[in-house]
Amino acid sequence: YPYTEDELAAGVRSIFKLERFPTLDCMVGAGDANHARSQRGTPSTILVTHCGPAGVGTTDINKTPFAASTTREETGSTALGALLSQRIFQTPLGLFPTAPGTKKTKSMSHIALHVHGHSHASWGVSHLGIVPIINPGPLRDGRFAVAEIEQGLDEHFKRKWRLVRVEFGVV
């Protein structure tokens, strides 16, 4: 793909650091004059990348599925896998202590869903910790996926977007 592992990781980090793209909470009731910022939950992001993270089922390819000995190939990004495995993305709601021993927390956009392509043969649903991952498969083969997300309340009664259902299809 066109980026090195370091460039890909830096790009994804910059999205969450700068929050330069709209998150899902910005879209709900945005036109409603009575919609207060306090009603919003933790910002949620749908992350879309060309390649997926290494170490998940949607990037693991078995090149010889019917042979006695399999030939597995990892097509995911190790840098992206390491980044999404960090505690900040694996803690519900993206809440984490600001410093050891303090009770204050810092909130960051949580990843409601990660969608990627690149791995044509390993389409499907997987997860990396608490992050759901979807590879719809190659559109050139007619494959697509429809993901349904909904906003509900988490265990802290804050609004949170979550993946409810994924349907795969072929045209």
Q: Select the more confidently predicted residue: 162 or 17.
A: 162
Please report where in the chains the tokens 């900040």 appear, as a residue.
88
Which residues sit opposite 77 in a β-bridge? 53
Burial of 80-116, coded b for 16+ CB within 10 Å and e otherwise, reads bbebbeeeebbbebbeeeeeeeeeeeeebbbbbbbbb
Residue 29's pLDDT is 52
**Coil, helix or strand for 82?**
helix
Residue 33's pLDDT is 52
The whole-angstrom separation of Cα 139 and Cα 158 is: 36
Q: Decide if 60 contacts 78 (C-beta within 8 A).
A: no
**Coil, helix or strand for 11?**
helix
Q: Decide if 96 contacts 88 (C-beta within 8 A).
A: yes
The whole-angstrom separation of Cα 79 and Cα 85 is: 10
| pLDDT 10s digits, 75-101 | 899 999 998 888 878 876 544 444 455
| pLDDT 10s digits, 102-150 | 454 444 567 889 999 998 888 999 999 999 999 999 999 999 999 999 9
| pLDDT 10s digits, 5-27 | 999 888 888 887 744 445 555 44
Q: How far is CA 90 from CA 83, 111, 128, 145, in A?
A: 10, 9, 8, 24
Q: Decide if 18 contacts 135 (C-beta within 8 A).
A: no
The pTM (predicted TM-score) of the whole model is 0.73
